[in-house]
């Protein structure tokens, strides 16, 4: 054939393995191979225009296009493609922005104006265009904006305007649809009656009046702005996405936090879906994040389906319904329309629209009627928050283990004999894996007992007793009774001043190769103290955090609310921060790197990465601080001490060391001296620290040298599981990261389609 083949390399940036599929023009997918986690590669010969998709490696079983996590079309000059990123091409891509001639054809029955030219029905005009440019079609008689053409590719011609159902519905001339009937719904989650306009019975589409409050919407908007809005319109080498032109942000939520607004809205909506449609939807970590979308003038979301909308049996784990919150309703244009139902929704602020596409009567998916679009916005701003509901991602009551996972965990515990197993489905999912491993369940296998904080004392004891813990389960009273023996650290201190306490600070600091140490009551406080002390020397105010940072997920925004820092979120939630993510500039006070990454199975970074980060930070006078809540766990991974790369360090004592509470800041003498007054300002210098100090001294003395053994033991367990063919791509269990990088790891348990117990 005349088309030249393209030699391509696909690279997997995620920690978990990915499968790569070729998508035929007819939409059939076939497996091309798999890419190991953390930069695994796959080379192949392909052709321009071919489409590929990927998903978490689940084994070489059949996969439908809907299950793919992302897709990409091969560019003519493509050379290398890192999944989810911009296509790398062989030439300067500015070339593809060269101007070319494009015909604009009017296939509508009325005269239209495009590029200041009136084009009669079936007429056309030729314009010189560039890739990425937009052209508006307005009705020549009324001046109404009806369509916006986007030049997606170089050489793309013609641009055609036709009157379709959706453009007609979107036109200002079409009034909103009337509800078929109005009912009220008694929402028990907030104890309030809600007016419901039923717009369609089958598929079920309802407009929920005043579903949200102003405060709730304000909160979501704040969260979105804090996360940072990004454009779906990508001016990359591959394509320019014309279908969804808007800014958006994913809003992650914490199912265990009752004050979390997104969490409340999810419960409200899921309750409605359960009561009104009998859907088995349960809020849980495997549901998707909410999606905040902000439309500006002439932006839109062209017709699409959110889930499967062909008449097929519902596939487990799939989306069943969508709820759109209209936080800022459009003032002109911007309606939500269902072209096949000829339905037009013009909402008010705080209304919500729910449409369901799994039919409760027969378990089949809707046959295309839930196709919908967000019309061109013609004035102001439109802000919506979309929620998707999935069934069967979290069967059973919230926060209970899935039976099949339990089965596998038991098998795992049995095979590995000495493993710690914590099947805690309430653990936060790393943000990015929420969408991609919705069929899976992440569990935590940790080489020490104390990280299993949420499983409850009984099961902790059980696990420790039956599986051979890194250290035995003990009550606090037992620990304190023992701690009293560490008298060299136990002389009374007054407000943090005392020989014993300072001895321990010195000993821990020198263990880590640092000049000085300072006890803090908690890790949360320790890191805020460090940031405030650093700010004194530079006056800068921006703190750069990874999107799964403890400061973002678990500290109720203290970094902002309490200390007034500006937060900048960097990096991809499913991989550790790298130097490339750290865009250090002169506004940045500090970059916080977490090592090892709690939410990423204890993933760590190489010394070279740390060195590159340090150099980049240093060149801009930026502080590099390590969130080392589990730094002891990572220490066996490195041949030399990594603390030299950081300006300041936080370590914790109650996780791997089993102390009752507490943290320490480490760094140069002058840094620690600057921290002391901040500790007082935070109310963190207790009248007597000795009880905590003793407990930490005990943990430090007993366990500080244990981590090499724990790391070796975890590696043995992983090795044994591999030999037993219990883990790996295609197996029920996989590992994140694929090899231990610290004395902890995450297991992903894939749900079976049939229950196994
Ligand atoms: O903007 C709208 O009205 C539609 C949004 C939508 O379809 C979506 O978020 O999936
Ligand atoms: Fe949609």
In this structure, which residue's CA is closest to atom 3 in ligand 1? Answer: 374
Which residues place a Cβ less than 5 A from the ion ligand 2?
Answer: 306
Residue 370 CA to residue 365 CA, distance in Å, equals 10
Task: Work out the average pLDDT over 593-618.
Answer: 91
- Regarding the beta carbon of 314 and ligand 1, being less than 6 Å apart is answered no
Query: Which ligand approaches the C-alpha of residue 305 most closely?
Result: 2
Ligand nearest to the CA of 250: 1
Ligand positioned closest to the Cα atom of 353? 1
Q: Which of 111, 107, 98 is nearest to 151 (CA)?
A: 98
- Quote the pLDDT of residue 15: 65
* pLDDT, position 491: 74
**374 Cβ below 6 A of ligand 1:** yes
Query: Is residue 699 lining ligand 1, measured as CB closer than 6 Å?
Result: no
Percent of the chain with pLDDT over 70: 82
Q: What is the pLDDT of residue 473?
A: 56
CATH code, 476-696? 3.40.640.10
Mean pLDDT of the region 391-404? 42
Residue extent(s) of CATH 2.60.120.620 domains in the chain? 181-390
According to the model, what pLDDT value does residue 105 have? 96
How far is it, in rounded angstroms, from Cα 585 to Cα 274? 49
Quick check: CB of 330 below 6 Å from ligand 1?
no
Verify whether ligand 1 is closer than 6 Å to residue 301 (CB atom). yes
Residues pairing with 322 in the sheet: 355, 388
**More reliable by pLDDT, 431 or 756:** 756
Cα 23 to averaged position of ligand 2 atoms, centre (Å): 22
Contacting residues for 551 by C-beta, under 8 A, at least 6 apart: 527, 543, 545, 558, 559, 567, 592, 627
| pLDDT over 80 (residue 557) | yes
pLDDT for position 755: 30
Q: Which of 330-339, 464-473, 576-585, 622-631 is predicted least confidently?
A: 464-473
What is the whole-number distance in angstroms between the Cα of residue 277 and the centre of ligand 1? 21
Split at pLDDT 50, 70, 90, the class of 427 is very low
Residue 174 has pLDDT above 90, yes or no: yes
pLDDT tens by residue, 49-97 = 999 999 887 765 677 777 788 899 998 888 888 887 777 777 555 557 7
Residue 244 CA to ligand 2 centre (angstroms) = 10
Distance between Cα 294 and ligand 1 center (Å): 10
- Average pLDDT of the chain to the nearest whole number: 82
What's the gap in Å between 206 CA and the centre of ligand 1? Answer: 15
CATH of domain 95-163: 2.60.40.780
pTM: predicted TM-score of the whole model, two decimal places:
0.49
What is the mean predicted confidence (pLDDT) over 523-529? 97
pLDDT at 93 (0 to 100) = 54
Out of 3.10.520.10, 1.20.1440.230, 3.40.50.620, 2.60.40.780, select the CATH number for domain 6-91: 2.60.40.780
What share of the chain has pLDDT > 90, as a percent? Answer: 46
Residue 634 — very low, low, confident or very high, per pLDDT cuts 50/70/90?
Answer: very high
Reduce the DSSP state of residue 492 to 3 states and report it.
coil
Q: Cα–Cα distance between 601 and 302 in angstroms, integer?
A: 39
Q: Identify the band that residue 286 occupies on the pLDDT scale cut at 50, 70 and 90.
A: low
Helix (H, G, I), strand (E, B) or coil at 110: coil
> Averaged over 658-681, what is the pLDDT?
94
More confident residue, 723 or 358: 358
Q: What is the pLDDT of residue 751?
A: 46
Looking at all shown ligands, the one closest to residue 386's CA atom is 1
Nearest CA to ligand 1 atom 8: 386
18 in contact with ligand 1, CB cutoff 6 A = no
Mean pLDDT of 606-631: 94
Put residue 88 in one of left, alpha, beta given phi > 0 → left and psi -120 to 50 → alpha: beta
Q: Report the nearest atom of ligand 1 relative to the CA of 246.
A: 1
Give the closest residue (by CA) to ligand 1 atom 5.
Answer: 374
Average pLDDT of the residues in 279-297: 84
Say if residue 101's pLDDT is above 90: yes
Residue 245 Cβ contacting ligand 1 at under 6 Å: no
ipTM over 0.95: yes
Is residue 337 helix, strand or coil?
strand
How far lies 502's CA from each of 226, 367, 481, 585, 695, in Å? 40, 71, 22, 37, 15
Q: Is 306 in the pocket of ligand 1 (CB under 6 A)?
A: yes
Q: Is residue 397 scored above 60 in pLDDT?
A: no
What is the model's pLDDT at position 242?
77
Q: Return the best residue to mutate from 247, 330, 374 for the ligand 1 pocket (most ligand atoms within 8 A of CB).
A: 374
On whether the CB atoms of residues 42 and 2 are closer than 8 A, the answer is no
Cα→Cα distances 75→32, 78, 80, 81, 661, Å: 18, 5, 10, 10, 55
pLDDT (0 to 100) of residue 649: 98
Atom from ligand 1 closest to the CA of residue 386: 9
pLDDT of residue 60: 58
Q: Which residue has the higher pLDDT, 654 or 354?
A: 354
Angle, alpha carbons 387-236-11 (nearest 5°): 80
What was the pLDDT predicted at 14? 72
DSSP, res 143: -
**Which overall architecture, per CATH, does domain 181-390 show?**
Sandwich (2.60)
Q: How confident is the model at residue 639 (pLDDT cuts 50, 70, 90)?
A: confident
The Cα 14–Cα 575 span in angstroms is 6
Q: What pLDDT score was predicted for residue 240?
A: 62
Query: How far is Cα of residue 621 from the mean position of the Cα atoms in its chain?
Result: 30
Of the ranges 146-155, 368-377, 584-593, 727-736, which one carries the lowest mean pLDDT score? 727-736
The residue to mutate among 224, 386, 388, 389, having the most atoms of ligand 1 within 8 angstroms of its beta carbon, is: 386
675 has pLDDT over 80: yes
pLDDT band at 187 (very low <50, low <70, confident <90, very high): very high
Mean pLDDT throughout 627-631? 95
pLDDT of the residue at 372: 97
The reply to whether ligand 1 has any atom less than 6 angstroms from the CB of 706 is no
Task: List Cα–Cα distances, 345 to 135, 170, 312, 334, 341, in angstroms.
Answer: 26, 10, 27, 9, 11
Q: Give residue 318's pLDDT.
A: 76
Q: Which residue has the higher pLDDT, 255 or 342?
A: 342
pLDDT in tens, 198-231: 999 999 999 999 999 999 999 999 988 887 777 6
Every domain range in the chain assigned CATH 2.60.40.780 = 6-91, 95-163
Say if residue 285's pLDDT is above 50: yes
- Looking at per-residue pLDDT, the higher value among 3 and 222 belongs to 222
Kindly report the backbone phi and psi dihedral angles of residue 522, in degrees, each rounded to the nearest multiple of 5, phi listed first.
-140, 160
**pLDDT at residue number 454:** 26
pLDDT of 456 reads: 26
Per-residue exposure over 116-140, b if at least 16 CB sit within 10 Å of its own CB, e if not: eeebeeeebbebebebbeebebebb
Q: Would you say residue 271 has pLDDT above 80?
A: yes
- Closest residue by Cα to atom 7, ligand 1, is 373
Q: State the distance from the centre of ligand 2 to the C-alpha of 313, rounded, in angstroms.
A: 21
Say what the pLDDT of residue 407 is.
Answer: 37
**Atom 10 of ligand 1, nearest CA residue:** 306
Strands (E) across 376-515 are located at 377-379, 382-390, 440-446
pLDDT reading at 233 higher than 80? no
């Amino acid at each position: 054939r005349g088309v030249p083949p393209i030699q391509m390399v696909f690279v997997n940036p995620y920690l978990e393995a990915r499968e790569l599929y070729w998508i035929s023009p007819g939409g059939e997918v076939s497996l091309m191979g798999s890419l190991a986690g953390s930069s695994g590669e796959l080379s192949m010969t392909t052709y321009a225009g071919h489409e590929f998709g990927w998903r978490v490696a689940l084994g070489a079983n059949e996969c439908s296009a809907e299950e793919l996590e992302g897709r990409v079309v091969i560019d003519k000059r493509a050379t290398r493609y890192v999944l989810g990123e911009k296509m790398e091409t062989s030439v300067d891509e500015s070339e593809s922005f060269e101007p070319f001639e494009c015909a604009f054809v009017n296939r509508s029955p009325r005269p239209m104006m495009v590029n200041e030219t009136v084009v009669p029905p079936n007429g056309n005009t030729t314009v010189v265009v560039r890739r990425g440019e937009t052209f508006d079609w307005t009705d020549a008689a009324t001046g109404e904006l009806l369509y916006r053409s986007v030049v997606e590719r170089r050489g793309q011609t013609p641009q055609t305007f036709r009157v379709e159902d959706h453009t007609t519905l979107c036109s200002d001339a079409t009034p909103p649809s009337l509800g078929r009937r109005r009912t009220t719904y008694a929402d028990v989650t907030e104890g309030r009656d809600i007016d419901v306009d039923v717009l369609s019975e089958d598929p079920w589409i309802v407009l929920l009046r005043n579903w949200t409050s102003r405060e709730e919407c304000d909160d979501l908007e704040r969260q979105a702005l804090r996360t940072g809005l990004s454009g779906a319109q990508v001016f990359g080498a591959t394509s320019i996405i014309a279908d969804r032109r808007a800014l958006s942000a994913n809003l992650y939520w914490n199912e265990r936090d009752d004050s979390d607004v997104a969490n409340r809205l999810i419960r409200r909506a899921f309750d409605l879906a359960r009561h009104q449609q009998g859907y088995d939807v349960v809020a849980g970590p495997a549901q998707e994040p909410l999606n905040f979308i902000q439309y500006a003038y002439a932006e839109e979301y062209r017709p699409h389906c959110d889930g499967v909308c062909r008449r097929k049996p519902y596939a487990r784990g799939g989306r069943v319904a969508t709820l759109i919150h209209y936080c800022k309703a459009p003032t002109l244009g911007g309606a939500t329309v269902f072209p096949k139902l000829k339905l037009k929704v013009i909402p008010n602020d705080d209304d919500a629209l729910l449409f369901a596409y799994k039919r409760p009567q027969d378990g089949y998916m809707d046959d295309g009627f839930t196709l919908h679009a967000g019309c061109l916005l013609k004035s102001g701003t439109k802000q919506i928050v979309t929620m998707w509901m999935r069934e069967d991602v979290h069967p059973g009551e919230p926060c209970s283990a899935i039976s099949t996972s339990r089965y596998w965990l038991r098998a795992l515990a049995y095979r590995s004999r000495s493993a710690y197993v914590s099947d805690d489905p309430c653990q936060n999912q790393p943000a990015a894996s929420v969408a991609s491993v919705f069929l899976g369940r992440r569990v935590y296998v940790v080489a020490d007992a104390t990280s299993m904080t949420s499983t409850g004392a009984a099961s902790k004891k059980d696990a420790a007793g039956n599986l051979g813990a890194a250290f035995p389960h003990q009550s606090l009273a037992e620990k304190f009774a023992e701690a009293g023996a560490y008298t060299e650290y136990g002389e009374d201190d007054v407000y943090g001043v005392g020989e014993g306490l300072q001895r321990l600070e010195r000993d821990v600091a020198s263990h880590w190769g640092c000049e000085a140490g300072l006890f803090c009551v908690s890790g949360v406080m320790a890191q805020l103290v460090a940031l405030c002390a650093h700010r004194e020397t530079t006056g800068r105010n921006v703190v750069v955090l990874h999107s799964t940072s403890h400061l973002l997920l678990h500290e109720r925004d203290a970094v902002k609310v309490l200390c007034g820092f500006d937060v900048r979120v960097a990096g991809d939630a499913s991989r550790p921060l790298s130097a490339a993510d750290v865009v250090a500039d002169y506004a940045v006070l500090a970059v916080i790197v977490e090592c090892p990454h709690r939410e990423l199975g204890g993933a760590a970074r190489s010394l070279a990465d740390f060195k590159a980060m340090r150099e980049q930070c240093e060149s801009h006078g930026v502080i590099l601080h390590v969130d080392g809540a589990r730094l002891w766990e990572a220490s066996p991974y490195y041949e030399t001490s990594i603390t030299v790369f950081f300006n300041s360090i936080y370590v914790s004592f109650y996780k791997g060391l089993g102390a009752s509470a507490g943290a320490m800041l480490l760094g140069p003498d002058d840094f620690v001296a600057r921290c002391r007054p901040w500790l007082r300002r935070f109310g963190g210098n207790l009248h007597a620290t000795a009880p905590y100090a003793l407990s930490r001294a005990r943990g430090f003395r007993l366990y500080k040298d244990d981590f090499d053994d724990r790391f070796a033991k975890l590696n043995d367990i992983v090795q044994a599981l591999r030999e037993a063919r219990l883990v790996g791509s295609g197996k029920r269990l996989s590992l994140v990261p694929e090899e231990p990088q610290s004395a902890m790891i995450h297991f992903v348990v894939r749900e079976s389609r049939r229950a196994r117990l």
